[in-house]
Amino acid sequence: MSASTSFAPVRLRPRSALVLALASVVGLAGFGWPFLAVTPGGTGAAHGQDAAYLFVALLPLLLGLVWAELGDGGMDVKAVAMLGVLAAAGAGLQTLSPGTGGFDPAFFLLVVAGRVFGPGFGFALGVVAMLATSLLTGGAGPWLPFQMIGLAWVGLLAGCLPAASGWAERGLLAAYAGLSGFGYGALLNLWFWPAAAYLPDGASYVPGASLGTNLHHYAVFYATTSLGWDTARALLGGVLVLVAGRPVLATLRRAGRRAAFTGGRDGGTDPA
């Protein structure tokens, strides 16, 4: 049996790394402002309106990432085609179970694709797949830019995992799929939590309160509302990696070899 190498059709050269960093800074600001805003007053109700500005900021940054890679010769038309195919597949999986009860099979595809094709590709795939899903399901709303950047980070970090092979690799990916399932859910709640006026005092956002107070309130909110939902996502992602990870990883790596993407990254091996 031969071993297949992980490829990186989006290599993080200086320009593309800068664009990716800018997109992440925009995302961090969008998610983290409730814990950074210390000026008393306001309820956070306008946060949903701010999402439109985050959306407008993220799309040019994503296009900038693709442009930078094409200009540097780090992403060819075959990589763009692969991105489109996997984004369409992820959107199709999402329509089968659009987050119902936390079950999200598209999460599995994002994790393994980010692992095989690298952090830059995983970042772009997360954004494009979520955008395609919103077009297919009509699920566009103020939450969309937060979903896009959240999934982008999941794909990015999947591509940054250490080298491993065989069962060790699939165990690593299963653990990551579980942890990122919780992390993604915890992040996504932040788009609406500050404006949720129906919450009890101990779980609601308090404008002008200290970082520790709002972190505690958010922890209470998460544990009592979203933990069970995210547990389902984490379990499904981990189980799918263990059950279907080997053939999917091998298929993606075989496609990478045949496409002969520019550059490569030895992120692990798996029997072909």
Which of left, alpha, beta for 73 (phi over 0: left; psi -120 to 50: alpha)? left
The token duo for 267 is 């992120």
| 61 closest CA partner among 156, 149, 143, 183 | 149
Summarize the confidence of residues 15-36 as an average pLDDT: 77
DSSP states of 87-125 as a string? HHHHHHHHHHSSSGGG--THHHHHHHHHHHH-HHHHHHH
Q: Which residues contact 91 (CB under 8 A, 6 or more apart)?
A: 106, 129, 132, 133, 135, 136
Q: Which residues make beta-bridge pairs with 139?
A: none
DSSP states of 33-70 as a string? HHHH---S---STTHHHHHHHHHHHHHHHHHHHHHHHH
The torsion of the CA quartet 139, 143, 146, 152, rounded to 10 degrees, works out to -10
Domain ranges of the chain: 14-34+46-259
pLDDT of residue 179: 94
**Is residue 204 pLDDT above 50, yes or no?**
yes
The terminus-to-terminus CA distance of the chain in angstroms comes to 7
From CA 32, how far away is CA 270, in angstroms rounded? 38
From CA 219, how far away is CA 89, in angstroms rounded? 34
The torsion of the CA quartet 226, 240, 133, 65, rounded to 10 degrees, works out to 100
| 249 closest CA partner among 228, 272, 230 | 272
Q: What is the DSSP letter of 271?
A: B
Condensed to tens digits (0 to 9), the pLDDT of residues 63-118 reads: 666 566 555 555 667 777 888 889 888 888 777 765 555 567 788 999 999 999 88
**pLDDT band at residue 266 using 50, 70 and 90 as cut-offs:** very low
* Confidence (pTM): 0.79
Query: Cβ distance 245 to 112 under 8 Å?
Result: yes
**pLDDT band at residue 182 using 50, 70 and 90 as cut-offs:** very high
From CA 140, how far away is CA 131, in angstroms rounded? 8
pLDDT of residue 100: 54
**pLDDT band at residue 250 using 50, 70 and 90 as cut-offs:** very high
Query: Cβ distance 59 to 218 under 8 Å?
Result: no
Average pLDDT score, the chain: 77
From CA 151, how far away is CA 233, in angstroms rounded? 13
Query: Strands, DSSP E only, in the chain?
Result: 164-165, 268-269
Class of domain 14-34+46-259: mainly alpha
Condensed to tens digits (0 to 9), the pLDDT of residues 121-179 reads: 888 888 888 888 877 776 667 777 788 888 889 999 999 999 888 999 999 999 999 99
The token duo for 241 is 């990696």
